[in-house]
Amino acid sequence: MTYTNTLKRIRQNKTNYRKRSAILIGRQPFIAAKISSQNISAQALKPTLTGDIVVASAHSRELIQQGWKGAMNSMPACYLTGLLLGKKCIEKGATNAVLYTGNHPFTTRIAACLKGIVDSGINIPVSAESLPDENRVSGKHIAEYANLLKDDDEEKYNSRFSALLKQGLRPEDYPRHFEEIRMRISDKLPHDNETLNQGSNTVTKLTKEKINNDSNTKIKRPSKGGSKKE
């Protein structure tokens, strides 16, 4: 029986070195988003051999300064945090990036944050099918559930949405409140905001035809034995 030595960060499930090497080879800023039980934080980082440099960062707690009264880790909050991060990236002159998930799965809330970044004007290679629709990120599903629950059991309605009601926000008004905060953030974006209401129209669609026609596009995937210089 032989012993195979593995790196410490692999054993601790902290680093996916295959994805990490691809990030370093690409030499592009990357987006990393972390969602906790209460908040979401997102960063745009520039990879280097000695460590990552933070270009811009956004936290869902910053939405309070914009007047946000909803939950801090819901899909609307994830979208708005991504939109805020995209605004900061553009102010720093970073207009291109890729998503880096590491060992974490690509969830719907991560997708909502990514949609906010894309709608802010950042160019990220992602398919429109991977992003949630407008009804989900605006909280329309929350408002519909609140209306249904209020008609069926008002006591349960008051208990389930007690945090929102305490903040002075009726859950039925979630989409309207979301739109107010989105426009409050987007009005400060240093570019044309007409694409904000188009949603997936700003998404960079990757097709075989586009890749084949672009002579400058080179896709490198590190092999199991490591990458080789050509």
Are the CB atoms for 46 and 52 separated by under 8 Å?
yes
pTM of the model: 0.78
Q: What is the mean pLDDT of residues 43-52?
A: 90
Query: Is the pLDDT at 51 greater than 90, yes or no?
Result: no
* pLDDT for residue 222: 45
Nearest to 94 by CA among 43, 59, 26, 44: 44
pLDDT tens, 89-127?
999 999 999 999 988 899 999 999 999 999 999 999 999
Q: How confident is the model at residue 68 (pLDDT cuts 50, 70, 90)?
A: very high
**68 and 181 Cβ atoms separated by less than 8 Å:** yes
Cβ burial 153-189 (10 Å sphere, 16+ → b, else e): eeeebeebbeebeeeebebebbbebbeebbeebbeeb
Does residue 221 carry a pLDDT above 60? no
Query: 143-172: per-residue pLDDT in tens?
Result: 999 999 998 999 999 999 999 999 999 999
Tell me, what's the pLDDT at 157?
A: 94
Coil vs helix vs strand at 98? strand
- List beta partners, residue 53: 46
Domains in the chain and their CATH numbers?
A: 8-205 (3.30.420.100)
